[in-house]
């Protein structure tokens, strides 16, 4: 299933994308694409429905983040060997974990705000893992039992704020609109191998990132297990699993960064596409 949320910010309703690419309204069956809907019981109930009996949405509707605002929006840094190489960083011995502000959580087609004073706003296409079942101290061999599905995340980052302004990465990662999520969450039964998904990102039509999840240093099972030993994962939480090479800070001979008035388009095999325009904050 491809689960999504549609409607204005703060008033989104649940929906799904059918086999013909039509958005259908799920409001009569679930209140939101939240922890309840993403549980084993919730997903079983939804998969048992005949989607063709659901009302089709006609006209233009905003597509919001594909899940309700999570309790934890977790990101993994430097998790692709080829990305670590382009930044000159050593291969991490353990996953680098940080939290993205929930103020960053936004829709896949919403505008991205370039922060005031920003000089180095950058892009990062990433595979998002959506948790379906509470996970705490989960062994690696059981980790996938806690995954509901997958989505696209654009882990937008202000590199000067992140690396040159002291402290942790958080203030370069958590700016408003710095975490577009969606357009939909694809349930894990439709993605048999999350470690072999092509991914890409363009800026103003120019290909910047081309990669595949096979070059992850720590795979999905390892990440879910690892994070659960430090942070209890709740249904609806997201783990954004890192980015392949081609980010702006790694461009040669000079880094390239975003400015207002540009367009990012990005996608992951089987998970759809996002598109954002940058505007001044």
CATH of the domain at 181: 3.90.850.10
What is the b/e burial string over 70-100, where b = at least 16 CB atoms within 10 angstroms of the residue's CB?
bbbbbbbbbbbeebbebeeeeeeeebbebeb
Residue 75: what pLDDT?
97
8 Å CB contact between 123 and 201: yes
- Count Cα atoms within 13 angstroms, Cβ side, for 134: 3
Residues 245 and 108 in one domain: yes
Instruction: State how many domains the chain has.
Output: 2
Residues 104 and 46 in one domain: no
> Considering the domain boundaries, does residue 66 fall inside one?
no
Residue 139: what pLDDT?
98
Residue 90: what pLDDT?
83
Closest CA to 197 of 178, 222, 214: 214
Closest CA to 162 of 195, 123, 120: 120
8 Å CB contact between 43 and 102: no
Does the pTM exceed 0.85? yes
> Considering the domain boundaries, does residue 97 fall inside one?
yes
- Rounded to whole angstroms, the Cα distance separating 13 from 271 reads 20
- Rounded to whole angstroms, the Cα distance separating 160 from 20 reads 44
Closest CA to 15 of 88, 69, 59, 67: 67
Residue 224: what pLDDT?
98
> Considering the domain boundaries, does residue 68 fall inside one?
no
C-alpha 209: how far from chain center: 16
H or E element in which residue 135 lies: none
C-alpha 31: how far from chain center: 22
- Rounded to whole angstroms, the Cα distance separating 168 from 187 reads 33
- Secondary structure (3-state) at 136: coil
pLDDT mean by block of 10 residues, the chain; 281 residues: 97 95 94 96 94 92 97 96 79 94 97 97 98 98 98 97 85 96 97 97 98 96 98 98 94 95 98 98 96
Residues 9 and 80 in one domain: no
Residue 118: what pLDDT?
96
Domain that holds residue 93: 73-280
Residue 86: what pLDDT?
79
Residue 168: what pLDDT?
80
- Rounded to whole angstroms, the Cα distance separating 245 from 161 reads 20
Residue 115: what pLDDT?
97
């Amino acid at each position: 299933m491809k689960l999504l949320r549609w409607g204005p910010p703060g008033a989104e309703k649940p929906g799904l994308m059918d086999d013909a690419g039509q958005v259908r309204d799920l409001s009569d069956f679930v209140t939101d694409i939240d922890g309840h809907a993403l549980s084993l019981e919730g997903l079983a109930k939804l998969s048992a429905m005949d989607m063709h009996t659901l009302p089709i949405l006609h006209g233009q509707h905003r597509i919001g983040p594909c899940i309700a605002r999570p309790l934890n929006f977790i990101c993994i840094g430097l998790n692709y060997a080829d990305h670590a190489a382009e930044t000159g960083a050593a291969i991490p011995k353990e996953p680098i974990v940080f939290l993205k502000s929930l103020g960053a959580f936004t829709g896949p087609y919403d505008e991205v705000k370039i922060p005031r004073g920003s000089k180095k706003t950058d892009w990062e296409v990433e595979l998002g893992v959506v948790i379906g079942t509470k996970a705490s101290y989960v062994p690696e061999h059981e980790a996938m039992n806690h995954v509901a599905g997958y989505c696209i995340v654009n882990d937008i980052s202000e590199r000067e704020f992140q690396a040159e302004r002291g402290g942790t990465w958080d203030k370069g990662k958590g700016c408003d609109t710095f975490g577009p999520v969606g357009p939909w969450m694809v349930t894990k039964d439709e993605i048999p191998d999350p470690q072999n998904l092509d991914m890409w990102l363009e800026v103003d039509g120019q290909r910047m990132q081309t990669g595949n999840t096979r070059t992850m240093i720590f795979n999905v099972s390892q990440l879910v297990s690892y994070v659960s030993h430090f942070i209890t994962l709740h249904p609806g939480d997201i783990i954004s699993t890192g980015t392949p090479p081609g980010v702006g800070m790694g461009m040669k001979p000079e880094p390239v960064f975003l400015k207002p008035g540009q367009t990012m388009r990005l996608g992951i095999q089987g998970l759809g596409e996002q598109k954002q325009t940058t505007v001044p904050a």
